[in-house]
């Protein structure tokens, strides 16, 4: 699986470089604006590299399994390669539905990056794509609830929340892609621990696609992912959170492990909730962009772009590592992890609201 991640990283990196060159040549760029933090013209469209890397690996992988592995044509390499074939074959149709749903988001994001769609149009399309994935591809939470309609509704709202959380995070160099990469690695580890090879493989490819793009997006960014990428990223993070098994008595995980996604996503959710609250409090639409995200507030306290990105990464790692331990902790340990997560968020709140005294 590590080889898949490396291959996805190389593919994403090459595509990102090509998209960057093409975007500058055609004028598909982000111009400096009052509601954006960038003060230079930056290429857009990095999400094209992320999406098409994912789509390419998923579609090619599905074709290889269906036409080569399943019939036994690759058995001469390693007989163990066919162990998970039967399970994978049952997921191929679901994968195609997922790719179709993400393609809808990707196209909408591209159009929005070029023409600026209204927020409610985008929200409606997000709900449609989320419903397609939840209902037709079973990208749903199934813990404790048997009713498909209820689990679909809950899952649709979670997917849309993640899409917008990572769309909101895409407000500074390296923020959205870096945090998504950290969250993906943590969720991937949980999936592999639960024996979910299929979910772990998807996570490996996704992590590689993010890393290949992040090479060009880490401060100072040479390209932005745009909405065509941030919505894809949010969707795939949501997919991993919904399809990973957290509670599995057979491997020793406890019932409270189901709260792992909330802890992993604590930093993105904090940004989403805090900036939404600020905008509503000021009488503004929560879907209209500005520079009030907590990354911007940190920057106004004197941090450089790289320091802001690294601060966000460290905060996500702190909550994420706690989430990993949640699968092994007893009840007292779980409570301490929850307290630690809250303390990390309080630390961020204190840091971003502290006075920026001259000379410090």
Q: Which of 22-31, 256-265, 290-299 shows the lowest per-residue confidence on average (mean pLDDT)?
A: 290-299
Mean pLDDT for 269-297 is 83
Q: Which residue has the higher pLDDT, 217 or 86?
A: 217
pLDDT at 281 over 80: yes
Q: Where are the domains of the chain?
A: 2-353
pLDDT at 23 over 70: yes
pLDDT at 344 over 80: yes
Residue 30 pairs in a beta bridge with 42
Residue 252: per-residue pLDDT: 65
pLDDT at 74 over 70: no
Q: Which of 63-72, 150-159, 334-343 shows the lowest per-residue confidence on average (mean pLDDT)?
A: 63-72
For the chain, the three-class secondary structure string (H helix, E strand, C coil) is: CHHHHHHHHHHHHHHHHHHHHHHHHHCCEECCCCCCCCCCCEECCHHHHHHHHHHHHHHHHHHHHHHHHCCCCCCCCCHHHHCCHHHHHCCHHHHHHHHHHHHHHHHHHHHHHHHCCCHHHHHHHHHHHHHHHHHHCCCCCCCCCCCHHHHHHHHHHHHHHHHHHHHHHCCCCCHHHHHHHHHHHHHHHHHHHCCCHHHHHHHHHHHHHHHHHHHHHCCCCCECCCHHHHHHHHHHHHHHHHHCCCCCHHHCCCHHHHHHHHHHCHHHHHHHHHHHHHHHHCCCCCCCCCCCCHHHHHHCCCCCHHHHHHHHHHHHHHHHHHHHHHCCCCHHHHHHHHHHHHHHHHHHHHHHHCCCCCCC
Whether residue 134 contacts residue 152, with contact meaning beta carbons closer than 8 Å, is answered with yes
CA dihedral 103, 106, 112, 113 (to 10 degrees): -150
pLDDT at 18 over 50: yes
Within 8 A by CB and 6+ apart from 8, the residues are 53, 54, 57, 204, 205, 206, 207, 208, 209, 212
pLDDT grade for 76, boundaries at 50, 70 and 90:
very low
Q: Which residue has the higher pLDDT, 31 or 210?
A: 210
Q: pLDDT (tens digit, 9 = 90+) per residue, 175-209?
A: 999 999 999 999 998 888 777 888 888 999 999 99
pLDDT at 103 over 80: yes
Supply the pTM of this predicted model.
0.90
Q: pLDDT (tens digit, 9 = 90+) per residue, 41-50?
A: 899 999 999 9
pLDDT grade for 171, boundaries at 50, 70 and 90:
confident
């Amino acid at each position: 699986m590590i080889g898949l991640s490396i291959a996805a990283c190389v593919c994403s990196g090459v595509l990102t470089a090509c998209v960057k060159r093409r975007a500058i040549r055609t004028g598909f760029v982000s111009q400096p604006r009052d509601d954006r933090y960038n003060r230079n013209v930056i290429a857009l469209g990095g999400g094209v590299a992320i999406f098409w890397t994912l789509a390419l690996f998923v579609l090619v992988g599905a074709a290889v399994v269906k036409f080569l592995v399943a019939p036994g044509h690759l058995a001469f390499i390693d007989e163990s390669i066919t162990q998970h074939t039967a399970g994978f074959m049952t997921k191929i149709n679901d994968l195609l539905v997922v790719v179709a749903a993400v393609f809808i988001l990707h196209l909408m994001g591209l159009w929005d990056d070029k023409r600026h769609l209204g927020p409610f149009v985008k929200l409606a399309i997000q709900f449609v794509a989320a419903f397609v994935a939840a209902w037709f591809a079973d990208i749903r939470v199934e813990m404790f609830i048997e009713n498909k309609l209820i689990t679909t509704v809950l899952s649709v709202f979670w997917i849309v929340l993640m899409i917008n959380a990572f769309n909101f995070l895409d407000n500074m160099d390296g923020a959205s892609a870096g945090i998504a990469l950290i969250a993906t690695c943590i969720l991937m580890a949980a999936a592999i621990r639960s024996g979910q090879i299929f979910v772990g493989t998807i996570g490996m490819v996704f992590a590689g696609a993010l890393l290949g793009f992040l090479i060009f997006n880490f401060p100072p960014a040479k390209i932005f992912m745009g909405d065509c990428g941030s919505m894809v990223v949010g969707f795939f993070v949501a997919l991993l959170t919904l399809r990973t098994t957290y509670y599995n008595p057979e491997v020793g995980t406890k019932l409270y492990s189901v709260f792992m996604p909330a802890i992993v996503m604590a930093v993105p959710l904090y940004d989403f909730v805090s900036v939404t609250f600020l905008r509503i409090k000021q009488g503004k639409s929560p879907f209209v962009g500005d520079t009030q995200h907590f990354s911007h507030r940190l920057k106004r306290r004197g941090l450089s772009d790289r320091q802001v990105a690294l601060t966000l990464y460290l905060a996500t790692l702190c909550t994420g590592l706690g989430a990993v331990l949640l699968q092994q902790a007893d009840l007292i340990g779980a409570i301490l992890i929850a307290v630690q997560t809250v303390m990390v968020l309080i630390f961020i709140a204190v840091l971003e609201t502290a006075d920026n005294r001259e000379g410090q």
